Structure 1
Amino acid sequence: MSEGELRGRNRTQRFLFEEADIRGEIVQLEDCLADITAIHQYAPGVHQLLGEFLAAAVLLATTLKFEGRLVLQARSQGQIPLLMAECDNELNLRAIARGAQQATSDRFDQLLTGGQLAITIDPSSGKRYQGIVPLVEDSLAHSLDAYFRQSEQLGTRFWLACDGQRAAGMLLQQLPAQQVEDRVRRDAQWEHVNALAATLQPQELLTVSAPELVHRLYHEDPLRLFEPAPARFHCNCSRERTLKALSTLPREEIRELLEELGSITMDCEFCNQQYRFLEQDLDGILQSDDPGTLH
């Protein structure tokens, strides 16, 4: 892990309770948050919420035990129609807020009014899975808590913060019984770690290093702290993928665009990368009998 990869504390760090079946994860993002939000001029409230989504996507992606990506997406009738953050198993991040140019609020319930939260797990090989819950809580962290309660998985809690310059989050999650079999004792341990986490202030989460945070909260509990892993902004768009998306358009529409413009240009909304296609680049599409097929 190079020094450059950890600049600006763009990293996540895991910790494990030695005498309880509970793990934790703390993510802190700075430079990669700036890289992502520099592409679009978001209002402060949108910027802050996008940072929380990025932190949450990293925390969720750390639970993946296979190659693939996790997509955290909210659709709403509020000031942000669509907000999406993606993170893969190598902690490559990208995010977008779509249709939020007129957003003025910094309130969660106004930005994502009547919204739904979808968590999509997309493995490189295997079946795609998606879970959806209403955004009925007053924050993304509480909405994620509700998602995991509804899915009847092991106890999972989130704490998220973003001040526009930095984004951070902490996850606590119960593990299958190995250290402790007794249900009453397991419940007591879970309540204990959550009660201490409830004292965490957003500014601490944003500014205090993960090792120091863990020490402040759980210095009386035996813990194992793992090496940090770097997170980075990386868009997985490519000329090949863009061409494939273009191939889904009707051939006559493609021909009309070429006749009118001489070429077709497509921009990636995540990173603003521009891809330009001339007529010879599109021969495989135009000669195909079926839309969406490349020769």
Structure 2
Amino acid sequence: MNDFLYRGVLQPYQVRVSYGVTTGVVRDAVLAHATDPVASHLLARALTAGVLASPLLGEDEWFTMRWNYEGDLQSIVLDVDEHARIRGFIAPKLLMEHVESEESLYGGGGKVSVTKSTSVKVLNSGTTEAALLDVVEDLAHFFSYSDQIETAMVAMVGFNPDPNDPVSLCQGLMIQALPDCDLELFDALRRGLNSAEVRRLLSVPPEVDNHFEHVFKAMLQSIPEAVFDLRLSVAGEPQFRCRCSLERICDVVAVLPDAELEEMIESDKFLSVDCRFCSRQYRLTPDQLRTILQTKRSISA
């Protein structure tokens, strides 16, 4: 089953929704970064939350999201665009041997920062306290507090014992209150979103085309005489895709001082540069470094 993302509105209640399956995205990220089970679980939840938020973006826009905590989990960083193409990393990527408890994982607190950008400028940015000590709930809190849009999210992750196919399922659901939404009703939907039945449905693979209807109807059970009127459209096919390239890596290397570049050229050794977002390794030859230095000097001349 391919990953997918739907967006829509629960019409009677004026609630924006996004629902997605991100199994492939998470699998590709876990394999790329070789994360251990604890780090994989956290990265999976953050990536799924990022995908669920992508329908909030317009054309040529993307979010850069950063979670920073005070415990053994130091940070998670990701970028996601309007097509649900996402990349990200977690630090450290090996957590099992360090974490003794949930308290030691997150420490005493942290912060969540989100920046919305285009290819030419930063549109807006904000930071909130990561008071809930959960990557998904802390991002929902960010949108509720910083953007003043009541938001709730849930993401469920399942793993296989196979190191070559480590992710069995990952899917999630986000709801947001539109301007005419009754906030008391939204709180009821939030409780429904976190119900045992919704979590159970998100923990099993969609076996029928209308699986999402069962998920939303389970959420609506928290509302007496609920009316099910859900209008969905395809919002994209989530992909773990990095924007790194040899050209961009060369631009980064060009920032190094001339003397440092000259020393690397004279050593006649390869320069290895790893992309943090996808763990791809670039190896620059002395000739490539020489070209970078010559280009840099010609521009500054």
TM-score (norm 2): 0.82
1:217 CA displacement: 3.0
Instruction: Tell whether 2:165 aligns with 1:158.
Output: no
Greater mean alpha carbon deviation, residues 50-59 or residues 76-85: 76-85
Greater mean alpha carbon deviation, residues 167-176 or residues 96-105: 96-105
1:176 CA displacement: 2.6
Structure 1 partner of 2:242: 235
Structure 2 partner of 1:226: 233
Instruction: Kindly indicate whether the alpha-carbon contact (under 8 Å) linking 1:15 and 1:24 is maintained by their aligned counterparts in 2.
Output: yes
Instruction: Kindly indicate whether the alpha-carbon contact (under 8 Å) linking 2:254 and 2:296 is maintained by their aligned counterparts in 1.
Output: no
Instruction: Kindly indicate whether the alpha-carbon contact (under 8 Å) linking 2:17 and 2:176 is maintained by their aligned counterparts in 1.
Output: yes
Structure 1 partner of 2:203: 206
Provide, for residues 194-239 of structure 1, a one-character-per-residue CA deviation record: whole Å limited to 9, x for no partner: 2332324433223244233124334732221223631111111101
Instruction: Tell whether 2:193 aligns with 1:191.
Output: no
Structure 1 partner of 2:11: 18
Instruction: Tell whether 2:47 aligns with 1:54.
Output: yes
The CA RMSD over aligned residues, in Å, is: 2.7
Structure 2 partner of 1:97: 90
Instruction: Kindly indicate whether the alpha-carbon contact (under 8 Å) linking 1:96 and 1:269 is maintained by their aligned counterparts in 2.
Output: yes
CA distance, structure 2, for counterparts of residue 238 and residue 62 of structure 1 = 26
1:108 CA displacement: 4.8
Structure 1 partner of 2:274: 267
1:66 CA displacement: 2.8
TM-score (norm 1): 0.83
1:216 to 210, 215, 218: 218
Instruction: Kindly indicate whether the alpha-carbon contact (under 8 Å) linking 1:54 and 1:86 is maintained by their aligned counterparts in 2.
Output: no
Structure 1 partner of 2:174: 171
1:96 CA displacement: 1.0
1:145 CA displacement: 3.3
Structure 1 partner of 2:253: 246
CA distance, structure 2, for counterparts of residue 289 and residue 38 of structure 1 = 36
CA distance, structure 2, for counterparts of residue 108 and residue 123 of structure 1 = 36
CA distance, structure 2, for counterparts of residue 261 and residue 203 of structure 1 = 58
Greater mean alpha carbon deviation, residues 92-101 or residues 197-206: 197-206
- Cα 1:227/1:148, change in 2 over 3 Å: closer
- Cα 1:68/1:15, change in 2 over 3 Å: closer
Greater mean alpha carbon deviation, residues 105-114 or residues 236-245: 105-114
Gaps of 5+ in 2: 160-166, 221-225
Count, aligned residues: 280
